[in-house]
Structure 1
Amino acid sequence: MSIRTDIPDRDHPRAVLDAEGVRDAYRRWAGVYDVVFGGVSAHGRRRAVEEVNRLPGTRVLEVGVGTGLALPRYRREKRVVGVDLSREMLEKAAQRVRQEGLSQVVGLCEMDAERMAFADGSFDIAVAMFTASVVPNAKTLFAEMSRVVRPGGDLLFVNHFAAESGLRWWAERSMAPLARLLGWHPDFALSDLLDPAQVRVEAMEPCQPAGLFTLVRVRNHAAMALAA
């Protein structure tokens, strides 16, 4: 499995600067990511891929594929393309694909998820696991995923979304400055990803541990994809 890097990108200097910060962070984490984050994120990844496997359509885009922890769970009939900003993480994913013979993975691309080079409607399903809160602009990510998924397809997200009140709300905001240094935003809200007045959420499901993460599924309506 090779990693494509010769994909044209759109000129957007500020996004590139932000992306470099993300690259630097994950360059440091690549070697230990599976050990540090693999366990706590395992249930959310499993549930997201279960949803992808039951949905119609074979063309699947995994945004923020990282080291490929979720890749072995996709059914063999799916055709999965993974994108990530970190070449170091993608190299780990490519090694996993080779070692485990994951024929359902047809491509791994080094690419900015906010400015993807795929044509409109290239996929039936796009899934982003623990990615929305670490990109510079989550609504741009949502718009790009809407663009590259066909109308009537599905967008799935697994992420931590902030509490709206109570002790957890206070704790998340107290943790925010430190968490941002680690690339995680505990104060990230669902409204930071999508506009609830414009986007109909088809399903929301809390995931372990202790409902810390949430699986969100959105149907990609034609008007939404056109607006993106």
Structure 2
Amino acid sequence: MGAGAESAAPATLDNVHVKSSYARWAPVYDLVFSLIMRAGRLAAVAAADRPMGRVLDVGVGTGLELPMFDERTRLVGVDLCEPMLRQAQRRVIGKSLRNVDGLLVMDATRLAFPDASFDAVVAPYVLTVVPDPHAMLDELLRVVKPGGEIVLVNHVGAETGIIAKLEAWLGKRSAHLGWRPQFQWSVLGGWIDARPAARLLERRALAPFGLFTLARLKKA
């Protein structure tokens, strides 16, 4: 491989990078990201909410979407970054969210739950963060009950134009950012095509400006 190709390659993303990046983001995460990601979180919660049921929130972060759920929905949140979870715990206490059964430090690619534990799983803005998206999706499919849903919200990278060039530039800084700007739909679409148990129910662009995409999957 030539030097030019090497310089264009995205930086490697691993759990060490993710944890250190989000530990830095934790104190200001809500201020920086709450507004731009709010529409996506509302859409994800509307699809995943299960009053009288049990929902797993993967990559719960500071818990921004937890108050959006129906108070009858039992919630468990997991995240790799402990400083983010501390913020989520303060939100749970401050807003008296008695339907949150636990906030746990956990790797999304190795979930410590039995098979078919949840009525739905929601993972907002997580696919671009995990080093191995397919491993995470396999785990989400494993822990959701048959007939249950996996609800995802993520930025899907542009294939051409100025935005694609910007994402390519940012992609070389993935390790520092803590996420992967150049995430293509084919990563998720290819996984769905290879998993007979996963069926795509819905795919739609979200505000602002179609920057994010909602995907709803059903487990057969």
TM over 0.5: yes
2:8 aligned residue? none
1:22 aligned residue? 18
Q: Which of 114, 119, 129 is residue 124 of structure 2 equivalent to?
A: 129
State the one-letter code of the partner of 1:203: E
1:50 aligned residue? 46
Q: For residues 188-203 of structure 1, what are the structure 2 equivalents within 5 Å?
A: 188-195=183-190, 196-198=192-194, 199-203=198-202
Q: For residues 51-90 of structure 1, what are the structure 2 equivalents within 5 Å?
A: 51-53=47-49, 58-90=53-85
Structure 2 unmatched runs, 5+: 1-12
Stretches (4+) displaced over 4 A:
none
**Separation of aligned partners in 1, 2:193 and 2:48:** 25
2:163 aligned residue? 168
2:109 aligned residue? 114
Among the aligned pairs, what percent are the same residue?
43
Q: Provide Cα deviations, 1:14-52, integer angstroms capped at 9, x if missing partner.
A: xxx932221111111111100111111111011111112
What is the CA distance between 1:166 and its match in structure 2? 3.9
What is the CA distance between 1:57 and its match in structure 2? 6.4
State the one-letter code of the partner of 1:201: L
Relative to structure 2, which stretch is displaced further, 116-125 or 19-28?
Answer: 19-28
What is the SS of the residue equivalent to 1:39?
Answer: coil
**Separation of aligned partners in 1, 2:169 and 2:84:** 30
Alpha-carbon contact 1:162-1:172 (below 8 Å) kept: yes
Residue 13 (structure 2) pairs with residue 37 (structure 1): no
**Separation of aligned partners in 2, 1:176 and 1:57:** 41
Cα root mean square deviation, aligned: 1.8
Q: Provide Cα deviations, 1:72-91, integer angstroms capped at 9, x if missing partner.
A: 00001100100001111111
**Separation of aligned partners in 1, 2:20 and 2:175:** 14
State the one-letter code of the partner of 2:137: F
1:12 aligned residue? none
Q: TM-score, normalised by structure 1?
A: 0.84
Q: Provide Cα deviations, 1:96-131, integer angstroms capped at 9, x if missing partner.
A: 101101112111111111101100000010010011
What is the CA distance between 1:56 and its match in structure 2? 7.4
Q: Which of 127, 141, 144 is residue 139 of structure 2 equivalent to?
A: 144
Q: How many residues align?
A: 204
What is the SS of the residue equivalent to 1:102?
Answer: coil
State the one-letter code of the partner of 1:67: T
2:151 aligned residue? 156
Alpha-carbon contact 2:155-2:183 (below 8 Å) kept: yes
What is the CA distance between 1:206 and its match in structure 2? 0.9
State the one-letter code of the partner of 2:37: S
1:186 aligned residue? 181
Alpha-carbon contact 1:57-1:125 (below 8 Å) kept: no
What is the CA distance between 1:179 and its match in structure 2? 4.8
